[in-house]
A and B are shown apart, each in its own frame.
Chain A
């Protein structure tokens, strides 16, 4: 008899928990579980930025369990968030790894390619203007930076402008990473719409040039100094990126370079993804704002692509017939390294199997990485 009573009482507690779940807006949690599930699905099934979308998806489920012990004052995820994202430490450390991964060689052989990186930041500023129709200035600027196509920059700028507890930071981070994963789907139709078949067939023979080791060593130092003087707020972003690259190029820190590229970047990525999910609580995420931000983020990527392509077409007006640029490479200035460069290369091959644009598009893509960080610094300088 006592056993039955105890069992019933246990069941009663379970029923109470379930009714508490329903009373506390259970459907919202269910929606967030579905969103978490979709992120995990996209990561596993479609291999879309799995290193970030999978931890983010699982984290979304973790933080959306009612009374979750993972968040709150003593929650592990909140502690990680305060230790690594609220103070921008994780994205900046990740930049060391990214810097160590980047080979600026193709860019150094043809430095003029960097101009395309600058042009492809158009989406950031245009989206900022669009977002300002619906949001306040700082929020609009943080939404615009989704167009940097660079997760760490988006996190740093949004955190600095809005603070880590803003209701829209989560949506900005999700948009930044999701659209990066969707670059192979977003960019091709925009590029095709803005170019003719004849333009897409333009060949750009690559002339390999030797770049001296000293140039490769001085390049990250000089970029940091120039960008830092113009936009002091960008010093931490560009500085960490270039520090990673200096480790790579100096030639005496090979083991550190390898660690930065693999172990450090992987470790931070694991924590970054699952910690970002703290911003994905149902109460913060399920807002009309989120849909609007996701829409504006898509605009940012589209206008970035358009900016790069149109700039290349503009340059072509002034170039002799045999020196024309394939305007598709302008689209690679969107940062999203190295997906965007590969997308352009594949599109070139699809049009003409003998048209190899990889080196040029990767060069532009790398310059997009630098330009997006500078754009982030400029945004901070304007609005802080």
Chain B
């Protein structure tokens, strides 16, 4: 529910944005590496 106007909350929560984006890039990066390895091991010759 609408809880008033608190512009400082934007600044306070930027840490979640940063850590969220870093985490998502790390997870996707690991998946990319895993997929490249999979492709290398099981590629059709």
Contacts and interface: CB of A to CB of B under 8 A. Distances in A.
B17 to A, nearest CB: 4
Contact of A218 (B6, B38, B44): B38
Contacts of A119: 25
Interface size for chain B: under 10, 10 to 19, 20 to 34, or 35 or more residues? 35 or more
B34 A226 contact: yes
Contacts of A115: 25, 28-29, 32
Contact of B28 (A130, A139, A215, A374): A374
Contact of B39 (A117, A135, A211, A370): A211
A215 B42 contact: yes
A367 B28 contact: yes
B45 to A, nearest CB: 10
B4 A134 contact: yes
Which label, helix, strand, loop or mixed, suits the secondary structure of the B interface?
Answer: helix
A42 interface: no
A128 B2 contact: no
Given A121-B21, A125-B16, A378-B20, A135 B28 contact: no
A287 B3 CA distance: 13
A128 B12 CA distance: 11
A133 B17 contact: no
Contact of A222 (B12, B13, B26, B38): B38
Interface residues of A, number: 52
A129 B31 contact: no
Residue among A111, A112, A211 with max Cβ neighbours from chain B (10 Å): A111
Residue among A108, A112, A130, A215 with max Cβ neighbours from chain B (10 Å): A215
A121 B2 contact: no
B2 A132 contact: no
Nearest to A121: B24
B32 A114 contact: yes
B28 to A, nearest CB: 4
B14 to A, nearest CB: 6
A117 B27 CA distance: 12
Interface of B: 1-7, 9-10, 12-14, 16-17, 19-21, 23-32, 34-36, 38-39, 42-44
Given A111-B35, A124-B20, A130-B10, 10 more contacts: A129-B9, A129-B10, A134-B5, A134-B6, A210-B44, A215-B43, A219-B38, A287-B2, A374-B24, A374-B27
18 contacts: A108-B35, A111-B31, A111-B32, A111-B36, A125-B20, A128-B13, A129-B10, A129-B13, A129-B16, A129-B17, A133-B5, A135-B3, A210-B43, A215-B39, A218-B42, A222-B38, A287-B2, A382-B19
